[in-house]
Chain A
Amino acid sequence: MQALYAQLLVGLINGSFYALLSLGLAVIFGMLNIINFAHGALYMMGAFCAYFLLTYGGIGYWWALIIAPIAVGIFGIILERTMLQWLSGLDHVYGLLLTFGIALIVQGIFQNYFGSSGLPYSIPDELRGGVNLGFMFLPIYRGWVVIFSLVVCLATWYLIERTRLGANLRAATENPTLVRAFGINVPRMITLTYGLGVGLAALAGVLSAPINQVRPLMGADLIIVVFAVVVIGGMGSIMGSIITGFTLGVVEGLTKYFYPEASNTVVFVLMVLVLLVKPTGLTGRTA
């Protein structure tokens, strides 16, 4: 049973990353109509940012949790201003190709300087150790990742679904021209949305740095799983992305316990099943 709970926890942690990343993808897709293939590379940049801060600046985890998303978010904003904005009005495909190119560039540069092996990033002192819950031993850091991610996801949901800013954002997704007529600066909103989505990816990167090592390709394979998560959940609803992300993480964890051979493939197999039964995805609006 210990092993089962341990895998469940791993599943919840992976689920947190799926949720944070698919949330960002959904928010970006809503505003920019672009599937951000660079999301995995930006997630990796978040982790590297934390690593650089610690190694070269002596700045620890807690500051990294704030600085890395902002730094990567600014990088994202520069990308949006210099490149992505020129794609509005073109086929979706071009956004995918452009961001794929960006991902190749970023990952290639990091691979050149850091190889493919992982760099260690230690757990901050405050979150070391664990507690015995009676039925299992819970490493504090892992519990922290799950809870913190959940809080961030819910905060994003609140921001988009319940605040005035979010209402403007959703309105601009539906009809940007009309929203501009009301005097709202839609292009700036689009830029900030991209920054926000990218910042969420970087935050996930910082969270994962102490668990998975910091590697140039850490986001490359992850992003493909997140795509499958997005196909399963559909990008229509924020809450849908969060729930699907966590659920699939748990399912993957359970598979690791019951049938480890399929743990890499279970999300893709589920994607196929969902497509056969309900092609629009679980929270389905058609794109």
Chain B
Amino acid sequence: MTVVTDDTLPMTPRAMRDEMIVFGVMAVLLALVPLSGIYPFFVMQALCFALLACAFNLLVGYGGLLSFGHAMFLGTAGYVSAHALKVWGLPPELGILVGTAAAAALGVVTGYVSIRRQGIYFSMITLALSQLLYFIYLQVPFTHGEDGIQGIPQGHMFGFLDLSKSTVLYYVVLGGFLGGFLLIYRSINSPFGEVLKSIRENEQRAISLGYKTEQYKLLAYILSGTLAGFAGSLKVFVAQNASLTDVHWSMSGEIVLMTLVGGLGTVFGPVVGAFVIIAMQQYLAGFGQWVTVIQGVIFVTCVLTFRRGIVGEIAHYFRRSL
């Protein structure tokens, strides 16, 4: 496996400190959003996608595995949570739990299949698997086909947090995002993360050192899928619907795009990328299909001239790890 990111700085205490400072600033800024008058719906949506992109980045940036089917986790968790909330009448916390568990189960099954091939084949397999799920969700009755599941009740989390109030919902989503982000951050900087990076750099060598690389990759895949599913479950409360768009390959492409724009293999890149892309979609919503064209242009530009992404370029300029 060749290298996705070209500068891999060792994890020094300074780097750790830099990252914690940026994390603190990010958390404070996000916590202040409801006071600032910014439309919270936009930020909540962006936060869900940011967590999704971070989960995706865990796999591609640190494991070197580019999944082109991550929308399947988003969509699966979304559908299961939506069904649990609306039809089974579960409270929000259990709805999230069930949806995330479904994504984890999906991760175990699809991971077992797709980890068998590497590099470019892995991307094609994950894409094909997500297309398989797309057709299944199109046909099974509980997803309501083209209509999707709509009008999902938001309910009271833990019995006292009224999620229909946008400020309360905002802090719940923010809490979910920050929790997921820290979990990913912790995984990257754990011995597990170090082995994962070594597999990305040189899998043969990692095998010769006695690591069962398949197991590490599978675990990274499941973790990434589960967290992507968690983001999908949170998104159900924000969007109040679950539809086929979330399982479509174009969604997988958007996840890749967010991470690429922000910076593959950077800690904060996916967050920045998600906000940039979601903001772009908001402002350009009136331009119809030109949004697709613009996304394509961004893909091409990023790959040709800007492979480090926004955060990657900044980090490279200041010679810091971000």
Whether A271 sits at the interface, judged by CB under 8 Å, is yes
Which residues of the other chain, A, contact B131 by a CB distance below 8 angstroms? 221, 224-225, 228, 268
- Known A97-B299, A109-B293: A228·B119 in contact at CB below 8 Å: no
Which residues of chain B are near A230, meaning CB under 8 Å? 124
Contact yes or no, B293 A108, CB < 8 A: yes
B116 adjacent to A279 (CB under 8 Å): yes
Q: Across the interface, do B303 and A87 meet the contact criterion of CB distance under 8 Å?
A: yes
Stretch at the interface among B34-42, B96-104, B203-211, B284-292: B284-292
CB pair B304–A98 under 8 Å, yes or no, is yes
User: In the complex, what residues of A have CB within 8 A of residue B292's CB?
Assistant: 104-105, 107-108, 111
CB of A231 within 8 Å of the partner chain: yes
Considering only CB atoms, which chain B residue lies closest to A232 in the complex? B128
Could you tell me the distance between the alpha carbons of A111 and B114 in the complex, rounded to whole angstroms? 33
Among A88-96, A128-136, A164-172, A239-247, the stretch in contact with B: A88-96
CA distance A220 to B60 in the complex (A): 24
Give the residues in chain A near B304, CB-CB below 8 Å: 83, 86, 98
Report the bound CA distance from A96 to B68 in whole Å. Answer: 10
CB interface residues, A 263-279, toward B, < 8 Å: 264-265, 268-269, 271-272, 275-276, 279
Nearest-neighbor residue (CB-CB) of A115 within chain B: B289
Tell me the smallest distance from the CB of A21 to a CB of chain B, in Å. Answer: 13
Asked if residues B296 and A102 are in contact (CB atoms below 8 Å), the reply is: yes
Q: Is B227 an interface residue (CB 8 A)?
A: no
B293 pairs with A92, CB closer than 8 A: no
Name the residue on A nearest B303 (C-beta).
A98
Known: A92-B120, A96-B66, A108-B290. A269 touches B4 (CB 8 A): no
Flag whether B164 is at the interface (Cβ < 8 A): no
B168 at the interface (CB under 8 A from A): no
Q: Among A104, A109, A287, which residue has its beta carbon within 8 angstroms of that of B120?
A: A287
Which residues from B are CB-within-8-Å of A92? 2, 119-120
Please name the residue on chain B nearest to A264 by beta carbon.
B135
Query: Contact check: which of B125, B138, B256, B298 meets A231 at CB < 8 Å?
Result: B125
Known contacts A91-B4, A230-B124: does B136 contact A265 (CB below 8 Å)?
Answer: yes
Check: B186 CB closer than 8 A to any chain A CB. Answer: no
On whether the beta carbons of A227 and B299 are closer than 8 Å, the reply is no
Contact with A along B272-308 (1 / 0, CB 8 A): 0000000000000000111111011111101110010
Q: Which chain B positions have C-beta within 8 A of A275? A: 113-114, 116-117, 125
Q: Is the CB of B289 within 8 A of A269?
A: no
Most-contacted residue by chain B among A87, A91, A287 (CB, 10 A): A91
Docked CA distance A91–B65 (Å): 11
Residues of chain A within 8 A of B307, CB atoms compared: 90, 94
The answer to whether the Cβ of B249 comes within 8 Å of any Cβ in the partner chain is yes
The residue in chain B whose Cβ has the minimal distance to the Cβ of A261 is B139
Within 8 A of A (CB), among B221-264: 249, 253, 256, 260
Contact between chains at A93 and B66 (CB < 8 Å): yes
A104 to B300, CA, bound (A): 10
Interface residues of A in 42-74 (CB under 8 A from B): none
Residue from A29, A105, A224 in contact with B297 in the complex, judged by beta carbons closer than 8 Å: A105
Q: Which residues of A contact B127 (CB under 8 A)?
A: 224, 227
Assess whether A111 is in contact with B113, with CB atoms less than 8 Å apart: no
Is B3 an interface residue when CB atoms closer than 8 A count as contact?
Answer: yes
CB within 8 Å for A35 and B299 given contacts A109-B293, A265-B132, A275-B113: no
**Is B166 part of the binding interface, using a Cβ–Cβ cutoff of 8 Å?**
no
- Taking A230-B124, A231-B128 as contacts, is the C-beta distance between A93 and B4 under 8 angstroms? yes
> Is A257 close to B, CB under 8 A?
no
| Interface flag for B129 (CB, 8 Å) | yes
- Taking the complex as formed, is B171 at the interface, i.e. its CB lies under 8 A from any CB of chain A? no
Cβ contacts under 8 Å, B249 to chain A: 220, 224
Q: List 20 A-B contacts (CB under 8 A).
A: A87-B303, A91-B3, A91-B4, A93-B123, A96-B68, A98-B300, A98-B304, A101-B300, A103-B296, A104-B293, A104-B296, A111-B292, A220-B249, A221-B131, A227-B127, A228-B124, A230-B124, A231-B121, A261-B139, A272-B129
Closest 5 CB pairs of A and B: A101-B299, A104-B296, A108-B292, A105-B296, A108-B293
Known A86-B304, A97-B260, A287-B121; 19 more pairs at CB < 8 Å:
A29-B120, A92-B120, A93-B66, A94-B303, A95-B120, A97-B299, A101-B300, A105-B293, A112-B289, A112-B293, A224-B131, A227-B128, A228-B131, A231-B117, A271-B128, A272-B113, A275-B117, A276-B116, A279-B117
